[in-house]
Chain A
Amino acid sequence: MAIIHAHRLRKTYPSGSTHVVALDDVSFDVQQGDFVVIAGRSGSGKTTLLNMLGALDRPDSGTLKVAGQDLLSMGEAERANFRLWHIGFVFQAYNLIRVLTARENVAYVLQLQGKPSRERLKAADAWLAEVGLEGMGDRRPDQMSGGQQQRVAVARALAMSPSLVLADEPTANLDTHTGGELIRLMRRINEKNGTTFVIASHDPAVIDAAHTLIVMQDGRIEQSVCRD
């Protein structure tokens, strides 16, 4: 079953008197449970595409269905709700709310989802353990390494029970070893839980881990490879 159905997405940004074409006629499908890596040089449109998929931004034209919902017909409030219930985000850096502890950062999204206090703290601890951060729940972001912060972000994304995890260059600020561990963690969860991942990255370790690889150039999909 296709969890993402994108058809002829186009997005331009005004730039001086002309405009930049960030996405140019992008069409693709992603199957439920897939582990997709979007690769491409800087400026090729990876972040722009991920923002469309996560209902953070709107294309100028095209059609886009994610988790069975038509993202383009939604209002802002509906899109916020959609993100809350369907999308887990992991960004390149500054993923966490500075003044909250690791546990509170994970619990925050569960609170947004209206889960009762005890349940969300228990779930937060369980997910922190799952990503290898057992006992670190009380640390604030500035008391954790970059790799640990990214793991908290992964734990938070998974705690939401999302239809889809979107990660934008999650390893870019990490050293090779830590980055490798993070991507193996995501891959393991993908295999174990069947969670769909779409990851934008030009990190070779991430590209290696891809089940489906989409390569972008100048806002277009240059090639799409599925390894079975």
Chain B
Amino acid sequence: MSEVSLARSWGIYAVLGWRNLWLHPLRTFLTASALAVGIAALIFLSAMDDGWMQQIKRNFALTVTGHIQIHARGFEQTQRLRQHIQNPAPLMPLVRAQDGVKEVVLRVRASGLASSAGANAGVLVFGVEPEAEARLSRLSDFLVSGSWLRSDVQHEVLLGDGLADRLQVGLGDKVVLMAAAPDGEIASEVFRVRGLLHSGVLDIDDLFVIAPLPKVQQWLGLGQGVTDIVIRVTDDDRVTPVWNSLRSLLDGDSFEVLRWNDIDPMAEQWAEFADVYTWIILLIVIVVVLAEVLNTMLMSMHERVREFGLMMALGARAGHIFVMILWETIVLVALGAVAGFVLGGVLVFWFGREGIDLTRFAVAFSFMYMDPVVYPRFEWSSMARIIGASLVGALMAGILPALRAARLVPARALREL
């Protein structure tokens, strides 16, 4: 009986809540405006974060890793040269045929030791196809002196600048590279320094040696073998479809297909960082809503104690009063949230087109894979979360006054004036 009457009376409490808000238009307007500004600012911050994350992901994926890699099964785990793809050629047409594949390159990846006249250092050797690699990854962008590799040069390598410092070598100097061939034999080879790279990423600058693929294959006795088939896709959201399709096409006993975020633990950390940032924003949304609305609702409730007493005397249940106040709070927050959403949306679209130039801070950002110009991104999922958080804030801000009102004793409430 009571539930039925509450359900049937729902409409009247919506009307009451709405009209009560406009009993004090200025108060409602000020509260909603403050809320709107807060929510707009948070929407903008969140969109900045989304823009950044997209940039970071893209830059990160394309710095070295590529979007997708195919290995011989188990290579990612062991990093042993013995687990290589002996003949990649037949796979290439299959990979290139995938919808959304932009570039495919072959690599040999091996850890080894570099020696110069004066020093030794542990290194990561990358055998790459010079022209294709320049189109796929950002490695060639990091060249700071000398020149990029060419297919027709054999005994030349590029070094990270930190590594060059440690080896005390410069352009044209000799380095000897040593690494274990698949059979376990240590093989060594002499190269000259053709160029130096500086990326701001420590691993690259301090460990990387980039050499022509055919020379590395020959040096390590791999024949046509490679360790990685690296794929760049046209667009971020092609990663998973292409990955899925390749996994179903390739024999799982011989090959492993990995996305960039499966390969580098760093990616996982970025994602976690982004999550924390998102939660902080949502928390602030809730706090902003609470701070703005709780006070207004308590004030409004205080003025209406007698009216609540009256409604209870007429037969309204405590639950009705509770629902009415909660509803009023939600409407108030919704007013602010909608206005904030529009305001924030406009800001995001405007700056999303123009970009925000952070060149002044570029040095600080470069190591984080950020570009100096950020483009805020409007992502529905982030917006939905912020709206959801406002609603949570509204419920929290409404529950205290609503509970207080619902706990009123009618006889006492009626004596208030």
Contact = CB atoms under 8 A, between A and B. Distances in A.
Interface string B387-417: 0000000000000000000000111001101
A77 B2 CA distance: 8
A97 interface: yes
A51 B310 contact: no
B315 A112 contact: yes
Sorting the interface of chain B by its residue count into under 10, 10 to 19, 20 to 34 or 35 or more gives 20 to 34
B12 A89 contact: no
Contacts of B23: 98-99
Nearest to B412: A57
Interface stretch (A78-86, A124-132, A220-228): A78-86
B306 interface: yes
B316 interface: yes
B16 A80 contact: no
B317 to A, nearest CB: 5
Contacts of B306: 94
B313 interface: yes
B310 A56 contact: no
Contact of A97 (B9, B311, B409, B415): B311
Nearest to B415: A47
Given A99-B20, A99-B23, A80 B312 contact: yes
Interface string B1-40: 1101100110010011001100100000000000000000
Contact of B315 (A91, A95, A109): A109
Interface string B272-293: 0000000000000000000000
Interface string A198-213: 0000000000000000
Interface string A102-118: 00100011011110000
Given A57-B411, A94-B417, A83 B5 contact: no
A111 B8 contact: yes
Given A80-B316, A80-B318, A97 B8 contact: no
Contacts of B129: none
Nearest to B17: A99
A81 B19 CA distance: 26
B12 A111 contact: yes
B312 A112 contact: no
B314 interface: yes
B299 to A, nearest CB: 16
Contact of B4 (A84, A87, A95, A114): A114
A56 B318 contact: no
Given A81-B1, A108-B12, A54 B313 contact: yes
B20 A81 contact: no
A97 B310 contact: yes
A175 interface: no
Contacts, number: 79
Contact of B314 (A77, A84, A114): A84
A99 B315 contact: no
A44 to B, nearest CB: 16
Given A94-B306, A114-B5, A84 B315 contact: yes
Contacts of B410: 56-57
Contact of A77 (B20, B317, B414): B317
Contacts of A81: 1-2, 315, 317
B76 interface: no
A104 B9 CA distance: 12
A177 to B, nearest CB: 25
B330 to A, nearest CB: 17
B22 to A, nearest CB: 8
Given A76-B318, A80-B318, A100-B16, A56 B8 contact: no
A99 B16 contact: yes
A80 B6 CA distance: 12
Nearest to B320: A112
B16 A85 contact: no
B411 A85 contact: no
Interface string A49-77: 00100101100000000000000000011
B316 A95 contact: no
B414 A56 contact: yes
A113 B315 CA distance: 9
A80 B310 contact: no
Contact of B313 (A76, A83, A113): A83
A39 to B, nearest CB: 20
B371 interface: no
Nearest to A48: B411
A98 B316 contact: no
B404 to A, nearest CB: 16
Interface in B207-232: none
Given A80-B315, A109-B315, A112-B315, A99 B19 contact: yes
Contacts of A100: 15-16, 19
B321 to A, nearest CB: 10
Q: Lowest 10 CB-CB distances: which A-B pairs, in order?
A: A84-B315, A99-B19, A57-B411, A56-B411, A51-B411, A83-B315, A56-B410, A80-B317, A89-B313, A112-B315
Interface of A: 47, 51, 54, 56-57, 76-77, 80-81, 83-85, 87, 89, 91, 94-95, 97-100, 104, 108-109, 111-114, 156, 160
21 contacts: A57-B409, A76-B318, A77-B317, A80-B312, A80-B316, A81-B1, A83-B313, A84-B314, A85-B315, A89-B313, A91-B414, A97-B16, A97-B310, A99-B19, A99-B20, A104-B12, A109-B314, A112-B5, A112-B314, A113-B5, A156-B314
Given A97-B310, A99-B20, A108-B12, 6 more contacts: A56-B313, A56-B410, A57-B411, A76-B318, A87-B313, A112-B5
